[in-house]
Amino acid sequence: MSLRIGLVHATLAPVEPMVAAFRTQAPHVTVMHFMDEGLLPLAESEGLTAAALAAIGHLVRRAEDSGAEAVLLTCSAYSPAVPELQRGARVPIVSADEAMLRGALGYGTRIGIVATVAAAGPTTAALLQNLAAESGRKIFTEVAVVIEAFAALKAGNGERHDALVREQIAALVPRVDAVVLAQISMARATVGVPAWSKPVLTSPEASVRAVLARLNQVA
């Protein structure tokens, strides 16, 4: 029987890039999807309240009950909830962006962040600051949020989404050591374009490696 990993989504947007990343990085894995499109509005309006944690915890338990051996949270707005969710979980829980953010810290102290969901920008900045503080480092973050891009993607206009994200990347690159794209759904904007002069990091492939590494740790 193949390894089974549950993916917990707050929108449809991460599904395709995550399926592609698993197909490339770990074709032996069976991916199971669990989604509640009410999660993102809840996080944006209330933050990580008890109600929000309960809602995402329900999906984690569904993944566990369906035989998932690990759970990957694909919504960056819920990354800070991993420690709390892990306490009540039977399997490892991994956030989609932690591995990417740790990698970004290796490029310098000025990190640009592009997000297309309002809650994802400050959440990613806070996670970066917390990871830097673990090693006693001080970093500077600059956040660009372009909600019009997410609206375009939801409306089926992927080209406009990609163009808007690329505009923000281009604006940040001269001022930072690296740029991170806060959401899995944004990775598509980096496909088929010339490399920027600074690293631009996305989370799908990194998150696949991270969840497999976490499983190896507990094996």
Residue 62 and residue 56: Cα distance in Å, rounded?
Answer: 10
Residue 1 binned pLDDT confidence (cut-offs 50, 70, 90): low
Q: Are residues 34 and 122 in the same domain?
A: no
Q: What is the CATH number of the domain that holds 152?
A: 3.40.50.1860
User: Within this chain, do residues 213 and 194 fall inside the same structural domain, yes or no?
Assistant: no
The values of phi and psi at residue 174, to 5°, are -65, -15
CA dist list (Å): 92 to 31, 86, 138: 15, 7, 29
Domain shared by 102 and 134, yes or no: yes
Domain extent, residue 50, equals: 3-96+205-218
The CA–CA distances, whole Å, from 155 to 48, 146, 158, 159 equal 27, 15, 8, 11
Q: Are 105 and 187 within one domain?
A: yes
Instruction: Evaluate the CA torsion angle 215, 3, 38, 77 in order and state its sign.
Output: positive
User: Are 64 and 104 members of one domain?
Assistant: no
Q: Are both 120 and 138 inside the same structural domain?
A: yes
pLDDT digit string, tens, across residues 175-186: 999 999 999 889
Model confidence, pTM: 0.82
Residue-wise pLDDT tens digits, 91-136 = 999 998 888 998 999 999 999 999 998 888 998 999 999 999 998 9
> Do 155 and 69 belong to one domain?
no
**Domains in the chain, number:** 2
The reply to whether 65 and 160 lie within a common domain is no
What are the C-alpha distances in Å from 102 to residues 69, 176, 195? 24, 16, 21
The reply to whether 147 and 90 lie within a common domain is: no
